[in-house]
Amino acid sequence: MPVPREEFLSNVWRDGIFSNKVIFCTGGAGTICSIQVRAFVALGGNAYIIGRNAEKTEKMAKDLETARRGSRVIGHGNVDVRNAVALKEAADRCVKELGSLDFAIAGAAGNFLAPMSQLSPNAFRTVIEIDTIGSYNTAKAVLPHLVKSAKTYPNTGKHSPAGTGGRMIFVSASFHFKGQPLQAHAQAAKAAVDQISNSVAIEYGPYGITSNVITPGPIANTEGMERLAKLDGGAEKEHAKIIPLGRWGQVREIADATIYLFSEAGSYVNGNILVVDGGQWRTSGAG
Ligand code: HXC
């Protein structure tokens, strides 16, 4: 007897899988997060993006709205993820303006290359506050809404006519898996981000919520890699030699990983770290 298609293959990457669903994303004007949101919007969703720079955030929101006719994207600038109250207000406003908050990405980050000898206590604290505390603040702001969304779209695993809702992704890194110079601050911050995701997975799993981490490796045409490559004086081709797949990643590959975790295909993936780096961390630890 043939196995029904829905039992072995999810209906993913289909237009409309996120229809009427809303994603809330911090760092949404940055290269990595904006491509994650763009993919979500292209598949039918609406979005609410948060950023520190108002002009950049509002401009990006307008641009993201073009990903699909009829989708709405709101850019909310002047919000610093270090400010828990402002984040909560933003999450509430997202629901008021767009009707719900079903998916979330904690993506805002701050980083620079510096040896520990040049890293002041305030510099270390700043990155911890943006990455770690900021991710925690984001989780606190969105989780009550994700709980409601998960109730509306029960994550039964049996059927999912559309994107399930109640899903969260933290954007982290892989350099702390093995260790890398000039990144003492970011490594400590991102290790903690991974653990926050795990805590959400464990404590909110019973509500039908999934929480996972995506760790982008070297992705071409991103702000992070442009800054890294410049500071290293290294070219993409030279650096790619240490990556098993022999190339930098494409932003699309981060989008695809995101859609996988947010779609029906990822409904049983919880408390995981999805490393999207061509296998680099296995060889060098960088990411
Ligand atoms: C050493 C530095 C430094 C540097 C800042 N500081 N840059 N120390 N080397 N290159 C120190 C400052 O001197 C200060 O310490 C403390 O850090 C706080 O700096 P502020 O400028 O006051 O902080 P703030 O305005 O909040 O800016 C945060 C930031 C900044 C992280 C420092 O770079 C930022 O806003 N970045 C956002 C965008 C971003 O970083 N995106 C990258 C994400 S991509 P003192 O002691 O002097 O007070 C990514 C991939 C890897 O992470 C990229 C690697 C480069």
DSSP 15-54: TTTTTT-EEEEETTTSHHHHHHHHHHHHTT-EEEEE-SSH
What is the CB-side half-sphere exposure of residue 160 using CA atoms within 13 A? 28
What pLDDT shows up at residue 164?
A: 74
What pLDDT shows up at residue 104?
A: 98
Distance CA 181, CA 187 (A): 10
From residue 22, how far is each of 89, 113, 211, 263 by CA, in Å? 16, 35, 16, 13
Kindly tell me if the per-residue pLDDT of 285 is higher than 60.
no
Q: Tokens in use for 204?
A: 């909110």
**3 domain-assigned:** no
**1 domain-assigned:** no
pTM as predicted: 0.94
What pLDDT shows up at residue 239?
A: 81
- Number of structural domains found in the chain: 1
Distance CA 126, CA 184 (A): 12
Atom 28 of ligand 1, residue of closest alpha carbon = 110
Distance CA 206, CA 195 (A): 18
Both ends of the chain: CA-CA distance in Å?
A: 46
Gap from CA of 88 to ligand 1 centroid (Å): 24
Q: pLDDT, tens digit, for every residue of 255-282?
A: 999 999 999 889 899 999 999 999 999 9
- What residues are in contact with ligand 1 under a 6 Å CB criterion? 109-114, 118-120, 122-123, 126-127, 130, 223-224, 227-228
Region of 112 on the Ramachandran plot (φ > 0 left; ψ -120 to 50 alpha; else beta): beta
What pLDDT shows up at residue 6?
A: 72
Q: Is 12 helix (H, G, I), strand (E, B) or coil?
A: coil
**78 domain-assigned:** yes
**203 domain-assigned:** yes
Distance CA 172, CA 277 (A): 12
Q: What is the CATH number of the domain that holds 108?
A: 3.40.50.720
What pLDDT shows up at residue 280?
A: 93
Atom 7 of ligand 1, residue of closest alpha carbon = 112
Question: Residue 236: which residues within 8 A CB-CB, separation 6 or more?
Answer: 218, 220, 225, 229, 248
The residue segments making up the domain with residue 143 are 15-283
Pocket test for ligand 1, best of 57, 111, 182 (most atoms within 8 A of CB): 111
Distance CA 177, CA 118 (A): 23
**41 domain-assigned:** yes
**10 domain-assigned:** no
**190 noted as active-site residue:** yes
Q: Tokens in use for 67?
A: 């990903």
Is the sign of the CA dihedral 171, 106, 15, 263 positive or negative? positive
What pLDDT shows up at residue 187?
A: 97
pLDDT-derived band at 287 (thresholds 50, 70, 90) equals low
Instruction: Compute and round to an integer the Cα radius of gyration of the chain.
Output: 18
What's the mean per-residue pLDDT of the chain?
Answer: 91
Q: pLDDT, tens digit, for every residue of 147-189?
A: 999 887 766 666 555 557 899 999 999 999 999 999 999 999 9
**56 domain-assigned:** yes
**174 noted as active-site residue:** no
The average pLDDT across 214-220 equals 94
Pocket test for ligand 1, best of 31, 78, 126 (most atoms within 8 A of CB): 126
DSSP H helices, the chain, are 5-8, 31-42, 54-65, 84-98, 121-127, 134-152, 175-178, 184-204, 223-232, 236-240, 251-262, 280-283
Q: pLDDT, tens digit, for every residue of 21-75?
A: 999 999 999 999 999 999 999 999 999 999 999 999 999 999 999 999 999 999 9
**20 domain-assigned:** yes
Angle ∠(213,58,130) on CA atoms, nearest 5:
40
Question: Residue 29: which residues within 8 A CB-CB, separation 6 or more?
Answer: 49, 51, 53, 56, 57, 59, 60, 75
The average pLDDT across 130-142 equals 98
What pLDDT shows up at residue 165?
A: 83
For the chain, what percent of residues have pLDDT higher than 70? 91
Q: Which residue has the higher pLDDT, 120 or 237?
A: 120
The average pLDDT across 139-151 equals 95
229: how many CB neighbours lie within 10 A of its CB? 17
Gap from CA of 111 to ligand 1 centroid (Å): 6
Gap from CA of 126 to ligand 1 centroid (Å): 7
- Set 71, 149, 190, 284: catalytic member: 190
